[in-house]
């Protein structure tokens, strides 16, 4: 019986917005909290400010998160929330990853 792995074409269908590690990290954090501040996100991901800023912008453009700008006293604080679309995209992405992982316990 010929070894029959996952469909290689399916791999090419992965959502590149989600697939990029920096953004996947961001979405992963956002998925587990209601709202996350820019600075917290930066600390927890280790991304540079510039990098984090552009990735969140890209995620917002994709409709996967929304940006909330507020003031903490008189200093401005930017926070993010994952959207339903973002959650859905992440779910789909996870499903696709599962599909391409070999079943647990191969020789």
Partner DNA sequence: CAAAACAGGTTTGCAATACAAACTTGTTTC
Partner DNA sequence: GAAACAAGTTTGTATTGCAAACCTGTTTTG
Interface with a second copy by CB under 8 A: which residues?
3-6, 8-9, 11-12, 14, 16, 19, 21-22, 24-26, 28-29, 31-33, 44-47, 94, 97-98, 100-102
Of 106, 64, 58, nearest to 87 by C-alpha is 64
| CB closer to a second copy out of 73 and 107 | 107
Residue 24 binds which of DNA, a second copy, none (CB < 5-8 A, kind-dependent): a second copy
Distances (CA, A) of 18 to 12, 103, 106: 13, 23, 28
Q: Which is nearer to a second copy, 75 or 101 (CB)?
A: 101
Max Cα–Cα distance, the chain, nearest Å: 68
């Amino acid at each position: 019986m010929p070894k029959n792995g996952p469909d290689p074409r399916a791999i090419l269908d992965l959502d590149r917005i989600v697939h990029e590690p920096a953004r996947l990290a961001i979405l992963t954090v956002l998925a587990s909290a209601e709202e996350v501040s820019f600075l917290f996100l930066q600390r927890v991901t280790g991304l540079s400010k510039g990098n984090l800023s552009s990735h969140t912008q890209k995620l917002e453009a994709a409709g996967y998160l929304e940006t909330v700008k507020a003031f903490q006293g008189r200093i401005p604080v930017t926070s993010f929330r994952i959207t339903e679309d973002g959650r859905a995209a992440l779910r789909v992405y996870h499903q696709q990853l599962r599909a391409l992982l070999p079943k647990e316990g191969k020789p």
